[in-house]
Amino acid sequence: MAWAEWEQIKADVAAKGPANMQLNQAPAEGGSSGGASPADLKSNRKTWIRVGEGIAGLKGGVGKALTKLADGQAGLGDTTGSVSAAAQKELYDSWKKYVSDVRGRCEALGGLLQQAGHDLSKSDKEALADLKRLQVNYEDTKPVGGQSKDR
């Protein structure tokens, strides 16, 4: 392609103004429909359900990790009089809470995604409200490892 021809193509595009991007033939905001209407856009229910089941299924692996964590802590006994044993107990308690929260979050988020697959009639606002409630319930915890006790 000759340089002059390339310059002419660029000038033609610039004269027409910015191009509107359309995804899946849906019209750009304020644009005209060049193909399918937004009502024609489809979502695959099976995919939503499968992803939700996968995330909810993570709780099983996290539950096994919790069991191993508890097994590793077994036999510690009374921590009175031992600063390191008390610190280990505090660390265990904080990790146990954190991992339990992760397990609960997997179950809750997986359930929401499965529900979205079963019931795609919810509005975007309703689905967003569900996710925000989940976010409030499982707001990230404080850093693990316990708090300093001036030791």
Q: Which residues have C-beta within 8 Å of that of residue 151, sequence separation ≥ 6?
A: 83, 87
- In this prediction, residue 29 carries a pLDDT of 55
Provide the mean pLDDT of the chain.
Answer: 75
User: pTM score, two decimals?
Assistant: 0.55
- In this prediction, residue 136 carries a pLDDT of 78
Average the pLDDT over 97-124 and give the result. 82
Exposure class string for 109-138: b at 16+ Cβ within 10 A, else e: bbbbbbbbbeeeeeeeeebeebeeebeeee
Residue-wise pLDDT tens digits, 114-151: 887 777 766 778 778 888 888 877 676 555 555 555 54
Kindly tell me if the per-residue pLDDT of 71 is higher than 80.
Answer: yes
Whose CA is closest to 113, among 65, 61, 55?
Answer: 55
Kindly tell me if the per-residue pLDDT of 47 is higher than 70.
Answer: yes
Average the pLDDT over 78-107 and give the result. 85
Q: In whole angstroms, what is the distance from residue 97 CA to residue 39 CA?
A: 44
- In this prediction, residue 27 carries a pLDDT of 54
- Per the document, the length of the chain is 151
Q: At what angle do helices 83-118 and 45-73 cross, to 10 degrees?
A: 170
- In this prediction, residue 19 carries a pLDDT of 56
Instruction: For 149, list phi and psi in degrees, rounded to 5.
Output: -120, 35
Residue-wise pLDDT tens digits, 77-86: 787 878 888 8
